[in-house]
Structure 1
Amino acid sequence: MSDQCDLCLLGLIILSSLLTGTSGADRVFISSGVDVSLPCNKHLSDCKSTSWIYYNRFTEIVELITGGIKNKDTERHERLSLESDCSLNIKNVTEEDYGYYRCTQYVNGEQQGTDAYVYLHVLHVSVSPSSSSSSSSSQTEISPGRSVTLSCQLYSYFGFSCNFLVSYEGVELLWVNQAGVDLKTDSRYQISSSSSSSSSSPDHCIITLTTTLLDEDDNREWRCQLTVGNQVQTSVRYTVKYSGDPASGTAGLLYRVIVSIVEMAVFAAPTVILLQIICARRAGRKDSKPPEEIEMPTILQ
């Protein structure tokens, strides 16, 4: 019965947000891999009567914090902590953390003040499995000459479809370089936008970047940037680091030349020093007469 009431309340909040554009809930946009703090309306001197409830699906309601104590039955309890102002801190956010959060405070069955509602949207980048032999959430190792595809996805809660976020909220996803320039202006990049949805998940916004890597792309950084009303909210950085022998390709030729010059300098240095010593000694001999050429004093007869 309690779960049904929570679902009804959640449905009313989402309906209100769709009709009015505001619901009194905070909307937090964050990138995966960082820490985030979700605000709570603190009405008491401490947080012993504070509870945090998480809604990821209409059928999934999880109590993360109950009476100021973490629920150890949750998979991510080690990444959660309750701050002194009763806000919920989530370390190393993942794409699985997106959803709807509610902070409530009750004393003896009576609600204290108003609840705090937070919609957490998570921006995450992944690399195409066929593009790399070794990858992580922020870096991929690959060889030049191969094609790489990076997919940037915004994970949002039910009621915030991609079309709604783009059309009514002004949300936009972009791929930019280190200088913040939109890569759509560069013909070497193929960029496309789409959405993904299923019966068990909402309609997520996706923007992909595909390019063939050049020698000079080693350690190059690309960034998936999320803006709302032309204001940057968050971004995810992605760096390409080449694997294998660095002495390959055009960059490898330059690498070998530099190594050869350094080696020549190291081996030539002792020879140069020895020649300088020999020249200095010869110059010293010219400035002084040999012992046999020194005139002996005349002996008086």
Structure 2
Amino acid sequence: MITEIYCVSGISGEEDAHVFISSGENVRLSCNNALSGCKSTTWTYSNNHSETVALITLGIKKKDTERHERLSLESDCSLNIKNVTEEDYGFYICQQFVNDTQQGTDARVFLHVLHVSVSLSSSSSSSSSSSSSQTEISPGCSVTLSSQLYSDTGFSCDDWVSSEGLGLLWVNQAGVDLKTDSRYQILSSDQYHCSITLTTTLLNEDNNREWRCRLTQRNKLKTSVRYTVKYSAQASTTAVNPVHITHSQDPSTTNTYVSKDPGETEVSVTAGLLYRVIVIIVEIAVFAAPTVILLQIICARRAGEF
């Protein structure tokens, strides 16, 4: 599904389109000056960390770009970007050229990407993840969700907030602001970067809990990112009950070990298996002995007849 959220803003002094999207989604950037057939259409891209590169030249997609596989051109010459990443933010320009001469004016689009990065820590270890959807973790971990709006407008976050009314907010599944709960530590962005972080220590009941970072403009929702807490089955069991390891070779003999050392359990199981093997060998010997004796008697009688 292609998601398009855009507005026309005067922050740059021109009628530029501003598109807000969350990482992992698909987006369509409109080209409002396109000529029919798109054979004259050229799309270029740049941001404050890269030079201008051509993505589409005269209707043909460039193959030497990193995002080549994620780009496509619509019949109306709009640019589709699949599975948007935070690196896709920047300034896109759609132009029309006929016989090397530009026709009309530029169609300018600013793409703003909302992305959440995740960092985890515990008393025994720490790890980090850049996934904005789901990460397997366990109760007792401290989790920090950092949500940042990646933009290339040349303006600070303070300018965005004051002139465009942008806001970032962490809420729960019911849409309640998490700032109202002392369990969560919320830190807002500095004057230059539009970001907001949420930090909390996970509880058993947080399994499958969802938090959302919402981006609004003048109190109107533009886009949001969801983060779902997902405990592994082993982590959930360990957090609630003691560990029980059960080995069953015979339904009538079941040994249960509660929180034992793995080496001790392995030795016990090996001894049990050895005992079973010895029993089987003895049983075979007991049943086989009469048969062997009978065969020897038959052979002796036949030898006497000759």
What TM-score, normalized by structure 2, do the two folds share? 0.70
**What is the deviation of 1:129?**
5.1
Summarize the Cα distance change of 1:34–1:71 in structure 2 as closer, same or farther, 3 Å threshold: same
Matches within 5 A, 1:53-92: 53-57=44-48, 60-92=51-83
Q: Does 1:125 align with 2:120?
A: no
The alignment partner of 1:168 has SS state of helix
Matches within 5 A, 1:261-276: none
2:201 is aligned, of 203, 207, 212, to 212
**What is the deviation of 1:146?**
1.7
- In structure 1, what is the equivalent of residue 236 of structure 2? 246
**What is the deviation of 1:248?**
3.0
Matches within 5 A, 1:18-29: 18=11, 22-29=13-20
1:137 and 1:24 mapped to 2: Cα distance? Answer: 32
**What is the deviation of 1:58?**
7.0
1:240 and 1:144 mapped to 2: Cα distance? Answer: 10
The alignment partner of 2:76 has SS state of coil
Going by fraction, where is strand more abundant, 1 or 2? 2
**What is the deviation of 1:142?**
1.2
Point out where structure 1 has 5 or more consecutive residues left out of the alignment: 1-15, 197-202, 257-301
Range that drifts further, 216-225 or 35-44: 35-44
- In structure 1, what is the equivalent of residue 304 of structure 2? none
Give CA-to-partner distance per residue, 1:4-57, whole Å, 9 cap, x none.
Answer: xxxxxxxxxxxx954xx5411100010000000000024422101100010112
**CA contact 1:221–1:237 (8 Å) conserved in 2:** yes
- In structure 2, what is the equivalent of residue 113 of structure 1? 104
- In structure 2, what is the equivalent of residue 95 of structure 1? 86
Summarize the Cα distance change of 1:195–1:77 in structure 2 as closer, same or farther, 3 Å threshold: farther
2:68 and 2:150 mapped to 1: Cα distance? Answer: 21
**In the alignment, residue 41 of structure 2 is paired with which amino acid?**
T
Summarize the Cα distance change of 1:123–1:43 in structure 2 as closer, same or farther, 3 Å threshold: closer
1:59 and 1:154 mapped to 2: Cα distance? Answer: 18
**CA contact 1:41–1:114 (8 Å) conserved in 2:** no
Q: Does 1:186 align with 2:181?
A: yes
Point out where structure 2 has 5 or more consecutive residues left out of the alignment: 1-8, 245-306
Summarize the Cα distance change of 1:139–1:59 in structure 2 as closer, same or farther, 3 Å threshold: closer
Summarize the Cα distance change of 1:124–1:59 in structure 2 as closer, same or farther, 3 Å threshold: closer
2:183 and 2:49 mapped to 1: Cα distance? Answer: 43
**What is the deviation of 1:68?**
0.5
Summarize the Cα distance change of 1:76–1:129 in structure 2 as closer, same or farther, 3 Å threshold: farther
**What is the deviation of 1:64?**
0.6
2:34 and 2:85 mapped to 1: Cα distance? Answer: 30
**CA contact 1:133–1:142 (8 Å) conserved in 2:** no
Kindly report the root-mean-square deviation, in angstroms, between the aligned alpha carbons of the 2 structures: 2.2
